[in-house]
Chains A and B, each alone.
Chain A
Amino acid sequence: MKALLILLLPLGLFAADDSFLLRGATVHTMNGTEIENGSVLVRGGKIAGVGKNLAAPKDTKVIDGKGLHVYPGMIDAATEVGLVEVNSLRETNDTTEIGRFNPQLVALTAVNPSSEHIPVTRANGITTVATMPQGPLISGQVSLIHLDGWTTEEMGVSRTAALHLRMPFVQVGGRGGPEREPPGSGASSPDTFTGARQTFEKQMAELNEFFESARRYKQAKEAHAAEFKVDLKLEAMIPVLDQKEPILVTAIREREIRDALAFADKQKVKIILCEAPEAYKVTKEIKAHNVPVILGPTLELPLDEDDPYDRTYTTPADLQKAGVRFAIGTFAGTANLSSRNLPYQAAQAVAFGLPHDEALRAITKNAAEIWGIGDRLGTIEEGKWADLMVTDGDPLEAKTQVRLLFIKGKPVDLDNRQKQLYEKYRNRP
């Protein structure tokens, strides 16, 4: 009953005006300060003030936050939320297009604003996600979305946040290859190492040639060459060549990570390493390149049988100690099912050595900065969008409940179909 009242509260309270003062709560700003008995003033969808004793301007609604905690809304730095409804049903899956060079494709185009994954995910305090296409080589553009909005346009934070590239890798058929194959790769792998190596080299050559042709295209366009013809694939590459848009590079094994860094040097492009479970082997080089990493889930099996049992648990702490910038994402496969468990991925890293505040930053501030929206999101600071999560405790603990959630200052409905089924069937006679 209590839960119901809390769910209904915001909708009634905020019918007319969107400005409010949340006071008396512990404000975890994520920029280094924690304000006990603090207040957050929200006006016009943005944070208008943060402090200890803010007064409510005239006619501004006041929310009592006594005993509660305020955090920035959490950001899942890599997932498929919105693109997949039921994993086993192809009809409901829009992650993977045909072809190996698809920079012209944009994830946001396929986000279903009515997906049940949106209310389920945000009910646990996640307000923004990077949703990504999948496939071999260049699968399309990653989009950043708010988990609220009447339309995809309203949800969009950034349509083209990064190009997604699955780094080519040497894969021998059957045993011995990397455990996770690129989804949708289709063709079976060669049987011998030599064959696999040739395939890899061919793919690297194709990839480099694609970038070279994009560069020639850009020159022809800028020179207003007579023979210039618009090509949508190559057109989509221009912001990447201009270093205005990064490439999110999925690289699993150490060799793939090294290849990705070398590729970025050669093509003079900005990259973000993606998933990178062996990033801990390459921290010096990653740091020297000033490349950020979006790590995959900690609650994942180690890649190799003889890895330490806690290999995936300690990687965030290893990166933090080495000074590598990183965020955490929940990723592909079953990620759409578990995006709501993002805070527990971060928590597992804390159990195995990552400082608590660093874990929270990996799913708020760092994620926003790596995705280039640090000026708008990721911390509770004046002038930023009011994406706020109000909880009754530490969000890294599963027992903690999210009490209120705001996206751009607007209260977000925390109800979803799962809660409705709960209410219906717990009351079955």
Chain B
Amino acid sequence: MKVLLLLAALGNGAVFGADAPVLIQNATILTVTNGTVKGSILLENGKIAAIGERVAAPAGSTIVDGSGKYVMPGIIDCHSHIMVDAINEGSVSVSSMVQMSDVLDPEDIAIYRALAGGVTTANILHGSANPIGGQTLVMKMRWGRNAEEMKLEGAMPGIKFALGENPKRRGNGPGNPGALRYPATRMGVEDVIREAFTEAKAYKAKWDDYKAKTARGEPALPPARDLKLEPLVEVLEGKRLVHAHCYRQDEILMLLRVADEFGFKIRTLQHALEAYKVAPEILAHGAGVSTFADWWAYKIEAEDAIPYNAAILTRKGVVVSLNSDDPELIRHLDKEAAKTLKYGGLSETEALSLITINPAKQLMIDKRVGSLEVGKDADVLLYDGHPLSNLSKVLKVWIDGHEYFDRDQDIEGRPKKEAEKKALEKKAAGARGGETE
């Protein structure tokens, strides 16, 4: 199976090195931030080099005919668990010492499938078992490259928090079935976060004291390093983004209160299916909301979920994104965005923003990705129809100007892969003495 995947990866042209410039001509270009352009877009040296009615093709350019087709920025998923071997370190209530970067699997087929659905960047999160979960990172879907090369260079690291039903479930660590683990209520969830940041503040004070002393040339012993508290100090210092899983309005307000009290910011409220009830408070804190288009009823804290969540929050000025949290949903975030045209009447640009520039803002990577602007990363999608039409699909995907997905090539390569699989199966059967079962 692994062998097959590798073959698939190589088959998709992951050639390292400089790409020829790509000029997409005669297309409808949805820039998201600067309206619609009927014309051309040039991808050169990994960046968007030009957008306009007429753009000259540099020597050696690959020309792509965009007649009748649409171009938009690559989709950004602000909540994903693909390409990791483990999601939850659920044996402790505070697992800020664990990192998703330690369990990356660059061969996860979910990467390629997400890519084929237009996703170019994803926020890879720890699970929701703990009030304070593990460290998170932002990845580009550079299929065929290794995990290190897939990391979005310079993106701010994050940490996962979780409120409500999931952290209330007790001790879900393997080998620890049925064990009680604090917390078991929303009261306890708040306490765990408060206790952790009380510790983190004291720890920070020790280090600040040590640094001040050494700066003054006074003799001082460094405090013992605490790998659990270090990331929380980074949160207090604004160097690490908090992505908080939550559902009900009361727990959302609880978290904002605790964060205000300790002087840090919640960057995104994840899921936040009741965020629409407390839009003014969320806006006042400055948090973004990353939610589902229309999920509901799968648990009691999702009972008041409404498909108008994104629209209400958008109208009230909150930066909203739609995320997948799921290897299937990640394949059609465009169609999820289209639902906000129906539910709450967002404009096409507002709907597209939910999966492009808004998640980019939430992850503080909007200088590089999230819209089609000259100088930004050439993360670009080509569609056979309007991306918000349920009848259209992704044809090509470029990341940093390199073509990582091409539907025609994918289809053309299938007979070869099928033949390789058959040959491997035959070989394996032969090795077992001719069995074909």
Identify the A interface with B (CB < 8 A): 85-89, 116-117, 120, 193, 299-302, 305-306, 308-310, 334, 336-338, 340-341, 343-344, 347-348, 350-352, 356, 396-401, 418-419, 421-422, 425-426, 428-429
Contacts and interface: CB of A to CB of B under 8 A. Distances in A.
B312 A397 contact: no
Interface in B391-437: 391-393, 410-411, 414, 417, 421, 437
B16 interface: no
Given A399-B338, A422-B344, A309 B112 contact: yes
In the A-B complex, list the 6 residue pairs whose CB atoms are closest, starting with the nearest: A347-B390, A399-B341, A398-B338, A88-B299, A422-B308, A418-B306
Nearest to A352: B393
Given A87-B298, A398-B341, A425-B277, A306 B417 contact: yes
B199 interface: no
Contacts of B335: 299, 344, 348, 398
A305 B338 contact: no
Contacts of A350: 390-391
B312 A299 contact: no
Contacts of A351: 390-393
Nearest to B346: A399
Contacts of B303: 86
Contacts of B18: none
A309 B390 contact: no
Given A299-B332, A428-B279, A401 B342 contact: yes
A336 to B, nearest CB: 7
A217 to B, nearest CB: 38
Given A86-B300, A418-B307, A306 B5 contact: yes
B53 interface: no
B300 A299 contact: no
A301 B109 CA distance: 11
Interface in B348-405: 388-393
A428 B414 contact: no
Given A352-B393, A400-B342, A85 B297 contact: yes
Nearest to A309: B116
B297 A337 contact: yes
A396 B113 CA distance: 23
A299 B333 CA distance: 11
A88 B339 contact: no
Contact of A399 (B116, B296, B388): B388
A197 to B, nearest CB: 9
Contact of A336 (B297, B305, B308, B417): B297
Contact of B328 (A87, A193, A301, A308): A301
Contacts of B393: 351-352
Contact of A305 (B5, B344, B391): B5
Contacts of A419: 306, 308
B410 A426 contact: no
Contacts of A299: 328, 331-332, 335
Contact of B342 (A87, A352, A398, A421): A398
A305 B299 contact: no
16 contacts: A86-B299, A299-B328, A299-B331, A301-B328, A305-B109, A309-B112, A338-B294, A351-B393, A397-B338, A398-B335, A398-B390, A400-B342, A419-B308, A425-B277, A425-B279, A425-B312
Given A87-B299, A305-B109, A399-B388, A421 B304 contact: yes
B61 to A, nearest CB: 28
B298 A88 contact: yes
B327 interface: yes
A305 B339 CA distance: 29
Given A306-B109, A398-B342, A401-B342, 11 more contacts: A87-B299, A89-B299, A305-B5, A309-B112, A309-B113, A350-B390, A351-B390, A397-B391, A418-B296, A425-B276, A425-B279
Interface residues of B, number: 52
A341 B329 CA distance: 13
A299 B341 CA distance: 20
A351 B392 CA distance: 5
A399 B391 contact: no
B391 to A, nearest CB: 5
Nearest to A356: B391
A343 B338 CA distance: 13
A428 B277 contact: yes
B306 to A, nearest CB: 4
Interface string B263-302: 0000000000000110110000000000000111111101
A397 B390 contact: yes
Given A308-B410, A347-B391, A421-B304, A334 B298 contact: yes
B163 to A, nearest CB: 16
* Among A120, A341, A347, A425: residue with most chain B CB under 10 A: A425
Nearest to A394: B391
A329 to B, nearest CB: 17
A86 B298 contact: yes
A336 B298 CA distance: 9
A87 B306 CA distance: 17
B8 interface: yes
Nearest to A120: B296
Contacts of B388: 398-399
B59 interface: no
B410 A87 contact: no
A344 B4 CA distance: 32
B215 interface: no
B298 A398 contact: no
Contact of A306 (B8, B331, B342, B392): B8
Contacts of B300: 86, 88-89
A419 B306 CA distance: 8
B315 interface: yes
B1 interface: yes
Nearest to A336: B297
Contacts of A352: 393
Contacts of A88: 165, 298-300
Nearest to B108: A305
Contacts of B411: 308
* Among B116, B305, B389: residue with most chain A CB under 10 A: B389
B407 to A, nearest CB: 8
A120 B344 CA distance: 15
* Among B5, B116, B279, B297: residue with most chain A CB under 10 A: B297
A344 B327 contact: no
B297 A87 contact: yes
A396 B390 contact: yes
Contacts of B299: 86-89
B11 to A, nearest CB: 12
Nearest to A340: B294
* Among A301, A308, A398: residue with most chain B CB under 10 A: A398
A117 B305 CA distance: 13
Interface string B159-170: 000000100000
Nearest to A301: B328
A401 B342 CA distance: 6
Nearest to A397: B390
